[in-house]
Structures are given as C-alpha cells and as structure tokens.
Amino acid sequence: MTRVAVPLPYFDFFPNLKAELAEKYPGTKFCPPGLLLQGESLVEFLKGYDAAVIGLNRFTDEVCAQLPDLQIVSMCSAGVDHIDPAILNKYGIRMWWAPGINKVSVSELAVCYMVYTLRRIHYFSSILYKGAWKGPVGFGADLRGRTVGIHGCGFIGKEVVKLLQPYGVKILACDRVKMDDFYQEWGVEEVGPEELWARSDVLTIHLSRNQTTIGMYTGDVLDKMKPGSILINCARGHLVDEKALQHRLESGHIAGAAFDVFAVEPANGHPLLELPNFFASPHIGATTMESWEAMLRSGIRGIAEAYRQEPGVYPFD
C-alpha cells in the first residue's frame, strides 16, 4: 500500500476530498492547518512516506537526499517553477502535474482587473473610505473599444480571449507557439512582442516563469509600452521589474497596473502599494473553491499516474 503524506493544508477546506483520499490510501498524513512546510520541517513530515501530494513545497537536493522512501511528488499547484526535474530524476522521484487546471479562475480575475483598473475603482473607492467624497471625483475609461494585448496565449491566455468576446475589444496575442486555428476562430491578431507593447491599451501577462521570461519586463520594455496603457499581471512574480514599474506609474507613462503576484511574497509594505494607480491582491488567482477542488482532485489522481519528467521539456526550460 502506498504511504501518502500531504504537506499542504488545503484539504481541510474540503472534508469530502480529505475523506476520499484517506479512504483510498489508508494512513494518509495531513499537514496541520496554516502551515507551508519547507526545508527540514518538510523532511521531517515526509520521512517514511512513498508519495507526497504537494502545493508550493520545494524539493531541493538537500530535501530529496533525506527522503530515500519518496517515490512520487503529485502536485496540486498550477505552476511548476518551484520544481527542478533534474533533482527529482536524480533521486528516482516521479512527478504529476496537470496544466491549466485553474485557467477559469485566473482568466476571470485578469479580465476583472482590466475593468477595475481602467475604471480607477481602487482610487475612487479610497476617496470614499477616507471620507473625502465632496463632489465629482474624476473619470475612468471603458474597456469596450480598447486594444487588449495578451502576452502568453496558453491555457489561461486562451480563456482570456474567450471571456473578452462580449466586450468589443481588439485582441492581440504574442506567444512562441503557433496557433493559427485558434486565432482565426476567435478573431485574434498574432503579433510579436514589440508590436504587442506598442499597440496595447491593456496588456495582460500570462507567461510561465522560466529562464526565458524572468526579468522580461525591464524598464526599457516598459518604456516601449503604449503611453497611458495599463498592465495586468496575474501570472508570476519576477517577470516585471517592480522598481521600474513604480517609476512609470509615477510618471504616468503607464496609467495603471493591477498585480496578483510579486517577486517576493508576502509583499506586505511594498512601495507599489502606496501608489493610487496601482492595485494588488495577495496571489489569489486560483483561490476559488472551484479551482482548489479541481487541483486537489488532480493531486489525488497523480499518486497513481505520476511519471518521470524530462528537463528541458515543457513545462520546464
């Protein structure tokens, strides 16, 4: 019988799935609520177990070297940028991951943030909360009629395309993979990055974090964006130079931005949070009941279906 340990606390929010996993794999050990186990605490929790159902737990060389019984890492997370397949292969550990499993939740959030930022809701709301509403408060802008650029048209980017259909926008997409049939079906214009930056009134990032995308949005790239545009990042931290973004928001070159992710999280006290034209949330892109139920079910499934990952093959660099 496969011995299973779960070093992430989310099963407590889904008692039916917790019971289902415990029934399928008797003796399953669950992480106490509120903990994200890493390093030595992760090693102690997993010692003697064959399979781990994980979220953002990191399996470094030091961790894997101390877990000789571990055979399977089954991921509930939608991203894999915290996993090195070469390390797993070194220790004979198989992995499971299901791409795009939270695509609906993240794409809905991205479109929501487009409207939210264009309408300057964060700023206008702050006026009300401060008790400073004494007359006209200014203007926002409509999404309808704008040009929306999507950088990264994978599982989530495609859902953004579909959700934008009723808004009457022009959609540009930039991706390293050719997808002519999809673009034709949904009325998307394929462009290169330079044209994407220059033409987009709203630019939403849906790239994975890897060696080709880390630090992509430098100050020079932000300067290439259309003056007065807005930037949405519900993808990953480390893709945008946050200090450079702060300067462009302060100058007005970028009119507004909404981020769900940061280079360093938690991002409490981040200087961007002081800006009236910047809105942020604490990495909630997949934080819906529907997404987490799907991700946890995928984690259960992966115990039996994990396989050997190849470095350099999608989703890895």
Residues labelled catalytic: 236, 265, 283
- Contact assessment for residue 64 and residue 87, using Cβ atoms and an 8 Å cutoff: yes
Residues 150, 218: Cα–Cα separation, whole Å: 17
Helices (H) and strands (E) in the chain, counts: 12, 12
Alpha carbon 175 to its chain centroid, in Å, reads 17
**Distance from the Cα of residue 283 to its chain's centroid:** 7
Distance CA 258, CA 100 (A): 22
The CA-based diameter of the chain, rounded to the nearest angstrom, is 69
Helix (H, G, I), strand (E, B) or coil at 218: coil
In this structure, are residues 133 and 127 in contact, taking their beta carbons and an 8 Å threshold? yes
Give me 105's structure tokens.
């939740």
What tokens does 264 get?
A: 């360093």
Count of beta carbons in the 10 Å neighbourhood of residue 190 = 17
Separation CA 39–CA 17 (nearest Å): 27
CA distance 154 to 208: 9
Q: How many CB atoms lie within 10 A of CB 162?
A: 12
Q: What does the buried/exposed string (b/e) look like for 7-21 if buried means 16 or more CB atoms within 10 Å of the residue's CB? A: bbbbbeebeebbeeb
Q: Please give the Cα distance from 40 to 38 (Å, whole number).
A: 6
